Chain A
Amino acid sequence: VKYLLIIQMNPATWESLSEAERTEIAEGQGTFMDTITASGEMVGTHALADPSQSAVVRGRPGASTVTDGPFLEAKEYMGGFYVVDCENVERAHQLAAMIPGTDRLPVEVRPVIFTAGYGLAEPDTT
C-alpha cells in the first residue's frame, strides 16, 4: 500500500532552530532515504520550494489568469514529501516517525489511491 508522508513546514519553527539542528534535520534525510531504500519501501521523494514561489492558475486554456499566492493564512505548508510502499498503515506511521525532525515539523500520513508515471506502467500502445 502506498502512502504519502507529507512534511509540514513551519517557517517560525524552522527559524527558531539552531544551525546544528537544521543541519541535523537536513542531513538526516539522507539516512532516512538509505533506510527505506534498503528495506524496499522507497517509491520517491520531492522537496518543494517556499510558497512565495507559488502561483495559482484559474480558468481554461486561452482564458486563464495567473496570480501570485496562495499566501495562505496557515502557519504550516507542505515542505516536501515521501511516497513509500509498505505493509500497512501502522508501518507507514512508523516510517513517518523515522523522518528526522518530526518533533518540530510534524508529518502527515495519507493513503495514495492512484499512481501512474515514473515509468511505473508502460504507455498504452493499443
Chain B
Amino acid sequence: VTAGTEVEDLLRRAAPRVLGVLVRRHGQFDLCEDAVQEALLAAAQAWPRHGLPEEPVAWLVTVAGRRLTDLWRSESARRRREDTVAARQPSTRHHAPGADVDLLADTSSSAADDTLQLLLLCTHPALSEPSRIALTLRAVGGLTTAEIARAFLVPEPTMAQRISRAKATISAEGASFTLPDHDHDERLAAALHVLYVIFNEGYTATEGRTLTRVDLTAEAIRLTRRLHQLLPDDGEIAGLLALMLLIDARRDARTGADGRLVPLAEQDRRRWDHGVIGEAADLLARTLAAAPLGPYQLQASIAAVHAEAAGDADTDWRQIAILYALLERRSDNPVVTLNRAVAVGMADGPEAGLAVLDTVAGDPRLRRTHRPDAVRAHLLERLGDHAGAHEHYLRAARAALNQREKRYLEERAAATTPAGPIAPPDPDVVQS
C-alpha cells in the first residue's frame, strides 16, 4: 500500500505526460483534459488501496483513453464526471515501487516533447494572461481547480469557468500540438513569462491566509526546473530558473517576525539559503559561458551580485548599474530604468540617480504606479532632503497596491518626518 501523498505527487508529475500523449494522438484539447482529470481521480482512489501499477503513465493513458471514447460517444457524459470510473480500471499487476525508483523517469524525446508542447499550448496567444496561468497550473502543474481558485482568491466556480473557457478557446483556435519552428521562440518566451508571473504571485502574495494557499513559488520553480531538464541548452530557461532560485533563497529573511517587509539592505544574510544560492550561481555561470545573453540571465546576474555580497555596503552597485543598462537595451520596460536609477544612486551618489530617474519619471506607463515616487523618496532621503523624501514616501504609500509594501512605505514616511535612518527601497518588489 502506497501513501496518499506519494500517489498525489506521482499523479501531479504524470498529468502533463498523459495529457500530452492524448492531445498528440487525438487533438481536441478540451475533451482530452476532461478525460485526464477523470483518470487522475480514478487513480487517486485506486492506487493508495491497491498499490501502484507497473507503468503508471500507461495505466493513466489507457483509462483516460477509454474515458475519452465515452466522452465522444455521449455529449451528456460530460455532466456525469463523478460516475464510477473505478469500474473500468484496467487489470494490471500492482506492486510497490522500490524507494528510489522513479516510475516517471522516461527520458525519451517524445515524452519531453509532449510536456513542452503542452506548456506552449496552455500559453497560447489567444488566451488572456489569467487564463494562461490557470490552464498552465491545471494542465501542466496538475493542480485542481479548487487549489488554483484558492491560490488566486477567487470563487471556485469563477476559476472553473475561466479554465473551461480557456480550453474551449484553444480547441476553437484549432491550435495544433506541434508548432511551426518560427513561432517556437516567441511562444517559449510567453511560456517563461507565465511561469515568472506565477512565481511573483507566490512571492509577493499578501492576500488571505498563506497557510492554506498552494505554494505558487514552489510550483513555478518545479515547472521551470522541469522545462530546464527538457531543454538544458536554452539560456533563458536556465536564466529564469537561476533567477527564481536566487530570489527564493532570500524568502526567510524577507519577512520580519511581525510579518513586516524587510528590505534587502536590512536582511540578515545568514538566513539566506546559501545551498540554493550556490546551485543557482553554478547554473548561471555555466549558462552565461555557453548561451546567448538574454533578459532572464541578466536579471539572474543582478540577483547573483546581491547574493555574493557579504552585506549591503559590500554590494557591487556599479556592476549592478551596468547589468541594468544591458537589460534596458533588451527590454522596453520603464521599471528597468527605475532600478538602474537606484543602482546608479548607490554607485555614483543620489544626484546621479535622480538624473537617471528624471529620464523616465514622465513615462505614461508609470503614471499610476508608486515606484517613481518610492525611488525619488529614497534618493532624496540619501541626499538629506527629508521633507522631499517624506512627501514622496507618502505619495508612494498611497499608490502602492501591495499591503506589505504600503506599510513599509508608510514607515519610511514616518521615519523621514524630521531626520531618520536611511534604507533603500526593496529591489525584490520590482518585477518586469
Contact = CB atoms under 8 A, between A and B. Distances in A.
A71 interface: no
Contacts, number: 77
B209 A43 contact: no
A38 B161 contact: yes
Given A115-B207, A121-B208, A124-B211, A43 B165 contact: no
A39 B160 CA distance: 10
Interface in A11-68: 37-44
B211 to A, nearest CB: 6
A28 B149 CA distance: 28
Contact of A40 (B165, B206, B368, B406): B165
Contacts of B165: 38-40
Contacts of B159: 40
A85 B160 CA distance: 13
A114 B405 CA distance: 13
Nearest to B164: A40
Contacts of B128: 86-87, 91
Nearest to B213: A121
B163 interface: yes
A41 B209 CA distance: 22
Which interface class (under 10, 10 to 19, 20 to 34, 35 or more) fits A? 20 to 34
Contact of A85 (B130, B209, B213): B130
Contacts of A111: 401
B161 A39 contact: yes
A120 B165 CA distance: 21
Contacts of B402: 113
A116 B149 CA distance: 13
Contacts of A87: 128-130
Given A111-B401, A121-B153, A121-B213, A116 B207 contact: yes
A123 B213 CA distance: 11
Contacts of A86: 128, 130
A121 B209 contact: yes
Nearest to A43: B154
A124 B165 CA distance: 32
18 contacts: A38-B161, A40-B159, A40-B165, A40-B166, A43-B154, A43-B158, A86-B128, A88-B129, A113-B401, A113-B402, A113-B406, A114-B206, A114-B207, A120-B153, A120-B208, A121-B153, A121-B208, A124-B211
Interface of A: 2, 37-44, 85-89, 91, 111, 113-116, 118-124, 126
